[in-house]
Amino acid sequence: MKLPIYMDYQSTTPVDPRVLEAMLPYYREGFGNAASRNHAFGQQAHEAVEEARAQIARFINASEPSEVIFTSGATESNNLALKGIAEMYRERGNHIVTSQIEHKSVLDSCRFLESKGFHVTYLPVNQEGLIHLKDLREAMTQKTILVSVMHANNEVGVLEPIEEVGKIAKEHNIFFHTDAVQSVGKVPFDVQAMEVDLASISAHKIYGPKGIGVLYLRKRNPRARLESIIHGGGHEGGLRSGTLNVPAIVGFGKACEIAAKEMNAESKKIFALREKLRSALLERLGDIYVNGSLEQRIPGNLNVSFAFVEGESLLNEMSEEVAVSSGAACSSAALEPSYVLKALGVGEDRAHTSIRFGLGRFTTDEEVNYTIDRVVKVVKRLRAESPIYQSESGREFT
């Protein structure tokens, strides 16, 4: 076992060696521009792109490969989905429904659209991190053109009931977009079964390269059309201009091919390791709380609040040995509680003590054991130095 240990798989994942092997030829002899199909170099690149497009389409059960639009990543995909639908269908309506715990690329896109005259409803979530379908139904109006609800949350890993969301949107003839970045490759994701019209996916969350993403765009029943937000060249059906990143696209396709074969077994292994981590921390430390639903959750996520221990202090103490992330987001001015945890009803004190553990494909049993021992040791020492803990340990921490 080597230090430091990587426990931040929701942030990004290492490139699988098999993915890298598939990519390397397209940095060397297969370096052609996929848009230059008048010679062999460009034709080879084009064929590689289309094979990867087909691999991704099969993985998410798209009706046809052309429904897969390549982008620079999920942030661009989310922007293209929300702004593209809003501009294309603004004569039909100006209302969008989303949730309070979406990724910032969705929330900030919604804020931008509000500045352009659109109205946005931000659905609350319960203490488990789940939206209420009743709230969704009540939020819809005759002017609603889009519902955007993420599949899995990036902080707490909670899986939203998007199959039901898709059915409700379909009943009202409203387009449904989901940010599926944290769920694809970890749990089953089927755009047909879930009645998804648009979906954002990123390669670097599933052991592919950074800088490449996908927007799935349904072409039939119903056909979703977008107004382009990047112009110049007409690539990707005119929806996203720019020279295609062929090696990264090939890597994305390979990552999906691997996930299709190995996801079920891999998820069981990761779930077992996560439960080992959770059980040991609960057993060996008091005053800790798991944030978000344990039943509706991706296998490798564990978001825990350690009462009476500042999350940043815990991170700093472990940074050279165990790489995890804090549940609190740093702004330029001050450390503020995570908006996701606040939406779950988590109090400011508890939000400041939260840590996100992200387990993945290359996490080992030995690494989990080391992480448990290290976390327990550091938490106990930090609490021992805290006069507040000495007087208030055992009280309900909210």
Q: Which member of 282, 294, 330, 388 is catalytic?
A: 330
Q: Where are the domains of the chain?
A: 5-11+263-392, 17-258
Q: What's the average model confidence in pLDDT over 185-205?
A: 98
The CA radius of gyration of the chain, in Å to the nearest whole number, is 22
Nearest Cα to Cα of residue 347 among 395, 299, 315: 395
Say which range, 9-23, 212-226, 228-242, has the weakest mean pLDDT.
228-242
Q: What's the average model confidence in pLDDT over 40-60?
A: 96
Please say if 256 is a catalytic residue. no
Domain 17-258, CATH class in plain words: alpha beta
Residue 121 banded pLDDT, cuts 50, 70, 90: very high
Residue 130 banded pLDDT, cuts 50, 70, 90: very high
Better-scored residue on pLDDT, 334 or 148:
148
What are the CA-CA distances from residue 192 to residues 160, 258, 264 (Å)?
17, 21, 20
* Contact indicator for 61, 191 with CB cutoff of 8 Å: yes
pLDDT in tens, 274-309: 999 999 999 999 899 999 999 999 999 999 999 999
Query: Looking at residue 393, what is its pLDDT?
Result: 61
For 5-11+263-392, CATH gives 3.90.1150.10
Query: Looking at residue 327, what is its pLDDT?
Result: 59
Query: Looking at residue 200, what is its pLDDT?
Result: 98
- 155 phi/psi in degrees, rounded to 5: -95, -50
Pairing of strands 175-179, 144-148: parallel
Average pLDDT, the chain: 93
pLDDT in tens, 213-228: 999 999 999 999 998 8
Q: What's the average model confidence in pLDDT over 55-65?
A: 98
Residue 135 banded pLDDT, cuts 50, 70, 90: very high
Nearest Cα to Cα of residue 285 among 309, 261, 310: 309
pLDDT in tens, 81-94: 999 999 999 999 99
